[in-house]
Amino acid sequence: MKNKAISNGIWPVMLTPFKERDQIDWKGLEELTEWYIAQGVHGLFSACLSSEALDMNDANKLALVRRVVEIADGRVPVVGGVMGVETREKRMEMARQVVADGAAAAVLTFCDVASEETSDEAWVEEMDRHLEISGGIPMGVYECPWPYHRMMTPLLTEYVAQQPQFLFLKETSGNLSEIERKCRAGALSGLKIFSADAITIADAYKLGVSGFSGLQTNLWAALHVKAFECRKSKPELTDRLQEFFREYNWALSKSYPASAKQYLKTACGLDIGNLSFLNGAAVDESDQEWIDELAKAIRGFTTEVAETAADLVAV
């Protein structure tokens, strides 16, 4: 029962197209959601940091998750982030609504639950209070780096793994020894671990992660799908894909997520704008050259591996 709604594989951290602040481009969101699904992904993480949920009002966060669930229409499961909500009561009210609207789980961030100076023991006590008013809904946790980066320490790992409500962990350390430790705990409890680190993902698969949920899914999701699907049958291809992920990871340091939206618009033909609010990200005409070069590199690499992966989705 615990894992049925959380499939292994690739869970994009979804972007959000905007018309202006607090005005989501709903037509663009539908087109974007269909693009992810066409890439072969196994689930969708909506209202996360890449979705710019911290720059949305609470009503829009809920509306965003609800609409993604409607568009996905059961083809892939959706988890919905509950981020930047001020109080425990409001946070859990939103979490219950996210699940009522059809999400497979409501995902809390470690840093929202308690302040940075709070001890792990106090964090556990506060999470206990959250669970008391949760109504038993399926939940996930996310090592979100903003507003501060609280990680799942051994104490928190033991606690989270023991709670049957927690189905999903987005792991953001990028440290293989940490990933292995969390995977061992998850394997015993059924908690599924999804790495956010593309440059170690082939190695993380060997350690038992359930899949990938990171920024690169907003540029070349189909390549990550292939890396996941080949991890056992053609591990050499997954290793080769990891080399590509490592080589081109620089693209995520350039005005993300505005640049990712511009890439999807110009390279993939999506009718979305590049308006973004996360970290003041913006692109202009000078960025188009490197975006075009990136698109060319992705197409070239896809062709290069096509003989080994004949069923690779075109990107």
**pLDDT tens series, the chain, 315 aa:** 355 589 999 999 999 999 999 999 999 999 999 999 999 999 999 999 999 999 999 999 999 999 999 999 999 999 999 999 999 999 999 999 999 999 999 999 999 999 999 999 999 999 999 999 999 999 999 999 999 999 999 999 999 999 999 999 999 999 999 999 999 999 999 999 999 999 999 999 999 999 999 999 999 999 999 999 999 999 999 999 999 999 999 999 999 999 999 999 999 999 999 999 998 999 999 999 999 999 999 999 988 887 666 655 545
Other CB atoms within 10 A of residue 155 CB: 13
What are the CA-CA distances from residue 130 to residues 158, 168, 186, 231, 298 (Å)?
17, 17, 21, 37, 44
Amino acid at 258: A
Instruction: Provide the strand spans (E) within 3-142.
Output: 9-10, 18-20, 23-24, 44-46, 78-82, 105-109, 139-142
In sequence order, the 6+-apart residues with CB closer than 8 A to the CB of 44 are 11, 12, 14, 33, 36, 68, 72, 76, 77, 78, 79
Residues in the chain: 315
* Active-site amino acid positions: 142, 170
Q: What is the 3-state secondary structure (H, E, C) of 128-175?
A: HHHHHCCCCCCEEEECCCCCCCCCCCHHHHHHHHHCCCEEEEEECCCC
Instruction: Provide the strand spans (E) within the chain.
Output: 9-10, 18-20, 23-24, 44-46, 78-82, 105-109, 139-142, 166-171, 192-195, 211-212
In sequence order, the 6+-apart residues with CB closer than 8 A to the CB of 297 are 248
pLDDT value for 1 = 37
Question: pTM for this structure?
Answer: 0.96
DSSP for residue 279? G
Report residue 30: phi and psi, to 5°: -60, -45
According to CATH, the topology of domain 9-234 is: TIM Barrel (3.20.20)
Residues 198, 15 contacting (CB under 8 angstroms):
no
The residues spanned by each domain of the chain are 9-234
- Which tokens hold the place of 301? 């690499």
pLDDT value for 5 = 84
DSSP for residue 25? -
Q: What gap in Å lies between CA 293 and CA 304, rounded to an integer? A: 16
- Tell how strand 23-24 and strand 18-20 pair up: antiparallel
pLDDT value for 164 = 96
pLDDT value for 313 = 54
